[in-house]
């Protein structure tokens, strides 16, 4: 997988297409859908999980906290409108194909989720991550994650009958505890740990401390039923803003991530894709893919426009929110496990998610080419 990643990345970079697109396609070719020579084993999933955590940690390390604070309201607008339109379009599409209401509602939740990990990779490769638009995309993605998880929690409880006000209050309480822990870690714990790391006579002590903080925050986010990538992203911001932050940490984490874990993550997304029902559900897949792209592009783009961004910046921000990736796959898997998503339409939804994920970098690259820094 690693060798083929190198070959594919080289080819796609040479033809001026983001390397991540090649890695996503490589996963589809190696997996169930085409050659079926690489299985999505526990080991592959573990490496992929570490890969997405490290990728979002790097995004946090390269983010400007002042810009994130400055553009908090636009990020929330982008997230809200970037959820409303895809939910509405997916619901209408599913109902048009006579899918029952319960399953249609859940499908709309699946396509509400944004996965910024793919966009982060494209933004990084084009040196656009620390731009104003890149900052809004990151901020909106965090808000979008929380929105999607909140909707999933409420709807899965409501639609399965396992729902109570007590469960919602418990979830909100856990999120409040996490928010308090983030503040405590940011203000006192992380700065002291990074300061201590500079005095330790051990190889790459600051980098090891940074990894410990990254994995700990990812674990805590997961423990309170938020996405682990959210914890990793927050950890990156906190570490990079510590007084004793060593810029070499970024370089070292990149070497660890891109040498093995991050490529495995991108390949893993396509490994379970199957085309058994592709012809039968062709039009449904096509419409889910089209509405999935349009919903985020225009919904998130509208949120950016009403926040004062010009059309070119709004196009960049809308494009950056298109990708679904692992977030939508996780939501779909949760729904499948509790019978909110039937076996009949499971592959249809997964194929649509992966098609959107492959298409998304092309939109983002095009939008940035029209609006260079």
What is the tens place of the pLDDT at every residue in 50-69? 999 999 999 999 888 888 88
Identify the pLDDT of residue 326.
Answer: 72
Identify the pLDDT of residue 163.
Answer: 59
Identify the pLDDT of residue 164.
Answer: 67
Q: Which has more pLDDT, 290 or 350?
A: 290
Residue 338 predicted with pLDDT over 80: no
Q: Compute φ and ψ for 64, nearest 5 degrees.
A: -95, 110
278-287 average pLDDT score? 92
For 316-331, the pLDDT digits (tens) are 999 999 998 777 887 8
Mean pLDDT for the chain? 90
Which of 231-235, 333-337, 347-351 shows the lowest mean pLDDT across its residues? 333-337
For 36-53, the pLDDT digits (tens) are 999 989 999 999 999 999
269-288 average pLDDT score? 89
Identify the pLDDT of residue 194.
Answer: 92
Q: How confident is the model at residue 16 (pLDDT cuts 50, 70, 90)?
A: confident
User: What's the predicted TM-score (pTM) here?
Assistant: 0.87
Q: How confident is the model at residue 160 (pLDDT cuts 50, 70, 90)?
A: low
Distance CA 103, CA 335 (A): 9
Which of 153-167, 245-259, 260-274, 280-294 shows the lowest mean pLDDT across its residues? 153-167
Residue 169 predicted with pLDDT over 90: no
Identify the pLDDT of residue 239.
Answer: 94
- State CA 154 to chain mean position distance: 21
Identify the pLDDT of residue 30.
Answer: 96
Identify the pLDDT of residue 173.
Answer: 92
Identify the pLDDT of residue 245.
Answer: 85
For 182-223, the pLDDT digits (tens) are 999 999 999 999 999 989 999 999 999 999 999 999 999 989
Distance CA 225, CA 334 (A): 12
Q: How confident is the model at residue 247 (pLDDT cuts 50, 70, 90)?
A: confident
Residue 302 predicted with pLDDT over 90: yes
CA dihedral 15, 19, 21, 23 (to 10 degrees): 120
Distance CA 110, CA 108 (A): 5
HSE-up of residue 265 (Cα within 13 Å, Cβ side): 24
Residue 361 predicted with pLDDT over 70: yes
Identify the pLDDT of residue 136.
Answer: 95
């Amino acid at each position: 997988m690693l060798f083929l990643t190198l070959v594919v990345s080289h080819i796609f970079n040479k033809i001026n297409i983001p390397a991540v697109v090649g890695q996503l396609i490589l996963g589809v070719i190696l997996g169930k859908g085409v050659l079926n020579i690489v299985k999505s084993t526990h080991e592959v999933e573990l490496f992929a999980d570490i890969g997405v955590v490290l990728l979002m940690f790097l995004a946090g390390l390269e983010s400007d906290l002042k810009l994130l604070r400055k553009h908090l309201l636009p990020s929330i607008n982008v997230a809200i409108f970037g959820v409303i339109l895809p939910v509405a379009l997916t619901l209408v599409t599913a109902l048009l194909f006579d899918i029952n209401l319960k399953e249609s509602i859940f499908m709309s939740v699946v396509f509400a989720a944004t996965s910024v990990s793919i966009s982060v990779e494209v933004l990084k490769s084009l040196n656009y991550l620390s731009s104003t638009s890149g900052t809004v995309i990151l901020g909106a993605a965090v808000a979008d994650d929380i929105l999607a998880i909140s909707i999933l929690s409420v709807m899965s409880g409501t639609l399965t009958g396992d729902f109570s006000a007590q469960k919602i209050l418990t979830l909100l309480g856990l999120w409040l505890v996490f928010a308090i822990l983030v503040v405590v870690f940011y203000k006192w714990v992380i700065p002291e740990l990074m300061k201590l790391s500079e005095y330790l006579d051990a190889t790459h002590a600051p980098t090891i401390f940074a990894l410990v903080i990254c994995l700990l925050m990812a674990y805590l986010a997961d423990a309170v039923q938020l996405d682990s990538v959210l914890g990793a992203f927050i950890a990156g911001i906190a570490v990079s803003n510590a007084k004793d932050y060593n810029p070499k940490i970024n370089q070292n984490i990149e070497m660890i991530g891109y040498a093995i874990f991050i490529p495995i993550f991108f390949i893993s997304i396509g490994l379970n894709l199957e085309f058994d029902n592709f012809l039968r559900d062709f039009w449904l897949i096509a419409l889910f893919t089209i509405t999935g792209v349009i919903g985020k592009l225009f919904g998130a783009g509208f949120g950016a426009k009403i926040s004062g961004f010009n059309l070119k910046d709004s196009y960049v921000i809308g494009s950056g929110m298109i990708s679904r990736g692992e977030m939508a796959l996780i939501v779909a898997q949760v729904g499948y496990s509790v019978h909110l998503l039937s076996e009949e339409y499971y592959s249809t939804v997964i194929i649509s998610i992966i098609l959107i994920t492959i298409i998304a970098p092309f939109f983002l690259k095009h939008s940035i080419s029209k609006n260079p820094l």
